[in-house]
Amino acid sequence: MNLTWVEISKSALTHNIKTFRKIVGKGVLLAPTVKANAYGHGLVECSKAFLDAGAEYLCVNALYEAEALRNAGIKSPILIIGYTALSELENAAKLKLDMTVYNEETLQALGEMGKYVKVHLKIETGNHRQGVKLADLPKLIPLFRKYKNVKLTGVSTHFADIEDNLNQKYALHQLELFKKAIAMLEDEGFSPEYRHCANTAATLILPEAHFNFVRIGIGAYGLWPSEKTLKAAENADMKIELKPALSWKTVVVQVKNVEVGNLIGYGSTYEVKKKGKIAVLPVGYYDGFVRSLSNKGAVMIKGKPAPVVGRVCMNMIMVDVSHIPNVKLEDEVILIGEGMTAEHMAELSDTINYEVTTRINERIPRIIV
């Protein structure tokens, strides 16, 4: 028996993909990003569900993720959007993966390898993370002429703050730089088939960023990138419903009576003020239920919230069930789902919903329901 598990709703994933299809239309490729164990939702499970729902491409961060997908029998195009080590380029080519490139060393290594490969050139437009600056683009273009086996299949960039700002001035500035880079490539005789820069927020609120390929991320899992993105969509009178796909569950492993004055957990940070009961749950910060939720998080038992009491341990938490009748051994507990949202957990632990789901330990089984 698994004492903790994650349930993923295939119908919710399907709904979200179909929602984005309606937004971008038939002429734009949907490429869900499934890096970081599909944002904690299950790499292989979600990838198959997305493809079944009509997605055409998959985006991963690293080679090992793409290898897992190929080993699971997934044959769709896969784009590695992170860095691929020079020593791993040959393996990536064997698996017929598209690779993101932005430096001379990678292009030279691919060219000298001699195998036919497809690459997507990443342009630096203002995020100052991955990417080649426009000023340095002329250094790379000759390499595409020199190495005929390296096919410039795509060109991309990434927005810096589109989900954090209702004013899209900076995003539009980035978009203009991206268009300028495309024009520079076209002036040199290159016309990449795929042009992409839209994450979830841009796909929702910046139609001019769609081009012919969108890399939807957290929205594919039914979560909004931010409150500001949701507000921007509402301001634009967009009737969009995203359905969260993830529920995280566990069971009660002990119920015990506590007396007034009892101290609970490491550091004795919680003192019982009223005689009652607590339940012990077999999850902790190792599993992804972070320590910052000590004495302020909550879970759902029998349809009622049960607050966390004491510090979150490595493998256990304690919750107050004094107000919930008949809690017993191995009763189901909901950590995320049925009102216990990833957003609320994020707010309590001073982070974002992305991190809440992504940090759920990969060893915990993901079950498609």
Residue 266 bears catalytic tag? yes
For 249, list phi and psi in degrees, rounded to 5: -130, 160
134 within 8 A of 169, measured Cβ to Cβ: no
First to last CA, the chain: 17
Instruction: Please tell me which residue in 94, 266, 275, 286 is annotated as part of the active site.
Output: 266
Structure tokens given for 299: 């879970």
Radius of gyration, alpha carbons of the chain: 24
Q: In the Cβ-directed half-sphere of 367, how many Cα atoms lie within 13 Å? A: 11
> Is 35 marked active-site?
yes
Q: Give the three-state DSSP class for 307.
A: strand
Non-local CB neighbours of 129 within 8 Å, separated by 6+ positions? 158
Long-range pairs of 67-73 with CB within 8 A, sequence gap ≥ 24: 67/91, 67/95, 68/43, 68/44, 69/34, 69/43, 69/44, 70/95, 72/44, 72/47, 72/48
Kindly list the catalytic residues: 35, 266
